[in-house]
Amino acid sequence: MNLQGQTNLPKPAPRQFDPQVLAQEIVERLTYRIGKNAQAAKPHDWLHAVILSIRDRVIDRWITSTQKTYEEEGRRVYYLSLEFLIGRLMRDAASNMEMLDDMQAALASLGVDIDLIAELEPDAALGNGGLGRLAACLMESMATVDVPAYGYGIRYVNGMFRQEISDGWQVELPETWLAHGNPWEFERREASYEIGFGGRVDPAEGDSASPHQMQWRPAERVIATPYDTPIAGWRGKRVNTLRLWTAQPIDPILLDRFNAGDHLGALAESNRAEALARVLYPADSSPAGQELRLRQEYFFSSASLQDIVRRHLQYFGDITTLPDKAAIQLNDTHPAVAVAELVRLLLDDHGLDFDEAWDITRRTFSYTNHTLLPEALESWPVPLFERLLPRHMQIVYAINSRLLAEARRSGVLDDQGIGTISLIDEGGERRVRMGNLAFAGSHSINGVSALHTDLMKVTVFADLHKLYPARINNKTNGVTYRRWLMQCNPGLTGLIREAIGDGFMDDPEALRDLDRFAADSAFQDKFLAVKRANKGALSTLLRQRINARIDPGALFDIQIKRIHEYKRQLLNLIETVSLYDQIRSHPEKDWVPRVKLFGGKAAPSYHNAKLIIKLAGDVARTINHDPAVQGLLKVQFVPNYNVSMAEVMIPAADLSEQISTAGMEASGTGNMKFAVNGALTIGTLDGANVEMRDHVGEDNIVIFGLTAQQVNDRRAAGYAPRDVIDQSKELTQALNAIASGVFSPDDPDRYKGLIDGIWTNDWFMVAADFDSYSAAQRRVDALWKDQAIWAQKAIHNVARMGWFSSDRTIREYAADIWKIA
């Protein structure tokens, strides 16, 4: 049967949107897809039926989008990322398809509360933090801005671990997001590919083989099969595809072994294959380092590249036009091996010569760098790389000799410079440098904020930048305001619409109109009432979840993000201890009631990060039980921070903590979500905070601390934390209290090592920034006391954050890197 090309096939009628039709359809789905009637259906069945009804409508647009892409024959974007932190999709898809109200009405007519079933949808937590969430925001914005795009990643069976807190310590539990099935995805068996590992490389056979052509004979092979999830843009204009790979063995079971009685051995190969898509490595800002991780990187890079090349040949027939039709963006170095994989495919499968293959590769790839932390730069031991990917090792050497020859010819680098740009780190154990490979194989390398991009040029890529001065460019991150304003904060969204109309929903820069309401006291009152309602909702949630009691009348001061020393949750906790001390010493002062909320996961192997979580719990317990500060200070660690938790916490925040050591946070995106939801930022001049200050105005943000330059200078001059601590009575007291066990009487030395680290080394400049941070917090108190002033500043934040929409980010990528009209 071949129906391709037939035009007279019956077409299904596009789905209708009215509530009555929807209600009918949902019941139909329950009956015929799930096999239950409305009386017998459980909440999960309803969720499933609702998703199927939304999905149908998404599919109509998905098909037209795909059609349009083919007809236009333009360039497509392929976004390769080992992480996509997309969270829940139901509200997102329904809202973007503009059917949320109708769906709510339809469900109400069936006696079902949409909020209750929405709660049941698991978070697709296929990412650690900012990097994975950026990938999700960019996917949504590409669909919104009408960029034809595919996201490529791995369909981890167990995404980010679920965090429980037991006796104050983080406990990691497996997240089983697929337990009830995933109605959003479609398995596409027909687009499966073989992925090889190990084995040997022989010269290619045949007279016509080019000298560069080789035949790789892998020792091990697995099958990559994709699952497609439609990603709908705003107003459903375009629906793009998120294609996630899963791994299967070639033989599900080795029957000869099984029949010989070796039942486990018969499944060993199968288990080894399936391990590839089992876990997301839970380390953020540091490389995983294990062989399985490199296997994952190659697995998804190879499958994606084979898919891209297959699609290109199917539609355009000529491999040499690939760069005109495909733009492949590498989200960090995790997919950097794709550079060598494309060269391999072009040389070995398509018989191109090396110069041509290399030219095509560089014109196709571009690379986004996400961190300058030296410990986070990915590299692989040469022996491991060679054993797993023998053909790619040869290609890396071949690329390297060209790169180094070019560098020598250019004369811009000395020997040391040539050593630093080499794809092979020759100091000690030889390693393949994935950052250099990604840079060398790309025509564009971008940072994610202005500061980070500038620093990139003088740190990690200083020498490569000298050699290729036109390649580095900046693309400041953004977030999608559909999810991070319209869906998560309907109260504020309604208020904005009332004031300035709906224009901002299609053009976030139109939020600017709100500026004229900032000083309007009636509007301020409404704004504060919305904030108060959001804080009430968070209080209720925390009471239900963790039996916490927080007063929505207090200032909600929130720090939620991965736990990392450079993000300085410890600075916040030490200041909290100091504030506690000051309130107890001066109960007569007019203190501002504060609720300090912390949330975030620690990498399971990151000892200090886990200790910081424990400290947050210990500090919370002590403070919350002390009658002397009742009603003035409350501290709470909120477990299992994820996208869904962020969607409740961010709209409820008054104060957003963005306090990383300057120069160490590449951009941040949490900072943007808070500001557009009307929180004031207390922050350092780091990452995108710098640009946020420029946009919202320095009167509407609370900046403190050393600049990146100053941090650098202090370190170079031999920073002595002891001298700084000795000069600050408050800091000395707080450090001594924590180190001596005031908050951990059950184990007085628990934090001794952590605090000793500040006395003796303090790489993250906690002591250096403490007084400035503490003073900034007291400025926050002063602002809070005049609620009209506070509201005015918060409204200016909402009004002036339009630029940080990921739509703007995507338009910049499209114009400058991908060259899409």
Query: At its nearest, how many Å lie between ligand PLP and the CB of residue 334?
Result: 17
User: Contact, 102 vs 69, CB < 8 A?
Assistant: no
Residues of this chain, 523-562, that bind ligand PLP according to CB under 6 A: 561
- According to CB under 6 A, which residues from 561 to 600 bind ligand PLP? 561
Where do the H-state alpha helices sit in 411-484? 415-421, 434-440, 450-458, 462-467, 481
Of the candidates 287, 335, 617, 668, which one interacts with ligand PLP according to CB under 6 A? Answer: 668
Give me the phi and psi of 726, to 5 degrees please.
-60, -25
Report in angstroms how near the CB of residue 130 gets to ligand PLP at its nearest.
4
CB-count burial class (<10 Å; 0-12, 13-18, 19+) for 814: buried
Under the binding rule (CB under 6 A), the answer on residue 643 touching ligand PLP is yes
Q: Which residue in 155, 238, 370, 392 is the catalytic one?
A: 370
CB of 308 to ligand PLP, least distance (A): 29
Q: How far is CA 97 from the centre of its chain?
A: 24
Amino acid 143 reads: A
CA 418 to the chain's CA centroid: 33
Pairing of strands 200-203, 149-154: unpaired
**Distance, CA of 307 to CA of 375 (rounded, Å):** 33
- What phi, psi does 371 have (nearest 5°)? -160, 150
Q: Which is nearer to ligand PLP, 119 or 202 (CB)?
A: 119
The least distance separating ligand PLP from the CB of residue 444, rounded to whole angstroms, comes to: 23
| 670 binding ligand PLP? (CB under 6 A) | yes
- Decide whether 440 or 570 has the Cβ nearer to ligand PLP: 570
| Amino acid occupying residue 799 | A
Whose CA is closest to 156, among 130, 116, 185?
A: 185
Residue 669 binds ligand PLP, judged by CB under 6 A: yes
Nearest to 242 by CA among 190, 306, 184: 184
Helices (H), 30-166: 43-72, 90-96, 100-109, 114-118, 130-144
Binding segment for ligand PLP (CB under 6 A), chosen from 399-407, 498-506, 571-579, 665-673, is: 665-673
Q: Is the CB of 367 or the CB of 484 nearer to ligand PLP?
A: 484
- Closest separation between CB of residue 642 and ligand PLP, Å? 5
Of the residues 562, 610, 614, 750, which is catalytic? 562
Give the shortest CB-139-to-ligand PLP separation in angstroms. 14
564 is an active site residue: no
If the CB atoms of residues 643 and 696 are measured against ligand PLP, the closer one turns out to be: 643
The span from the CA of 752 to the CA of 743, in Å, is 12
Pick the stretch among 254-262, 267-275, 448-456, 638-646 that binds ligand PLP (CB under 6 A): 638-646
* 44 labelled catalytic: no
Length of the chain: 821
Is 129 among the residues that bind ligand PLP (CB under 6 A)?
A: yes
AA letter at 292: L
Residue 512 CB contacts under 8 Å (≥ 6 apart), including other chains? 799, 800, 802
- 669 as an active site residue: the answer is yes
Segment interacting with ligand PLP, rule: CB under 6 A, options 88-96, 214-222, 427-435, 669-677: 669-677
The residue written with tokens 């309803």 in the block is 46
Distance in angstroms (rounded) separating the CA atoms of residues 225 and 252 = 14
The piece of 109-117, 126-134, 258-266, 273-281 that touches ligand PLP (CB under 6 A) is 126-134
**CA pair distance 700, 693, nearest whole angstrom:** 8
* Smallest separation, CB 559 to ligand PLP (Å): 8
Query: With respect to ligand PLP, which residue has the nearer C-beta, 95 or 642?
Result: 642
CB of 702 to ligand PLP, least distance (A): 17
Q: Which stretch binds ligand PLP (CB under 6 A): 262-270, 607-615, 622-630, 664-672?
A: 664-672
> What backbone phi and psi angles, to 5 degrees, belong to 558?
-125, 130
CA–CA distance from 412 to each of 401, 442, 453, 732 (Å)? 17, 20, 21, 50
Among 52, 121, 130, 500, binds ligand PLP (CB under 6 A): 130
Q: How far is the CB of 420 from ligand PLP (least distance, A)?
A: 29
| Nearest residue (CB) to ligand PLP, 129 versus 233 | 129
β-sheet bridge partners, residue 514? none
CA angle 157, 159, 162 (to 5 degrees): 125
The CB-of-683 to ligand PLP minimum distance in angstroms stands at 10
How many separate helices (H) and strands (E) can be counted in the chain? Answer: 34, 25
For ligand PLP, the closer CB: 282 or 670: 670
Strand partners, 327: 77
Stretch of 312-320, 667-675, 738-746, 759-767 contacting ligand PLP, by CB under 6 A? 667-675
Tokens of 367: 């690379």
Tell me the C-alpha distance between 470 and 329, whole Å.
17
DSSP state of 280: -
Contacting residue, 646, 739, 754, 758, with ligand PLP by CB under 6 A: 646
Active-site residue, 752 included? no
Q: Is 133 in the site for ligand PLP (CB under 6 A)?
A: yes
Q: Per CB under 6 A, which region of 127-135, 309-317, 383-391, 572-580 contacts ligand PLP?
A: 127-135
Q: Which two tokens stand for residue 140?
A: 């949504």
- Residue sitting closest to ligand PLP (CB): 670
Q: Is 457 a catalytic residue?
A: no
- Residue 370 annotated as catalytic: yes
Q: How far is CA 175 from the centre of its chain?
A: 17
Helix axes 19-29, 100-109, angle to 10 degrees: 70
Please report which helix (H) or strand (E) contains residue 222, including its range.
Answer: strand 220-232
Residue from 642, 677, 684, 774 binding ligand PLP (CB under 6 A): 642
The least CB distance from residue 609 to ligand PLP, in Å, is: 13
Between 55 and 610, whose beta carbon lies closer to ligand PLP?
A: 610
703 is an interface residue for ligand PLP by CB under 6 A: no
Span of 129-137, 378-386, 703-711, 728-736 interacting with ligand PLP by CB under 6 A: 129-137
Catalytic residue list: 370, 561-562, 567, 669, 673
The residue ranges that bind ligand PLP (CB under 6 A) are 129-130, 133, 561, 642-643, 646, 668-670, 673
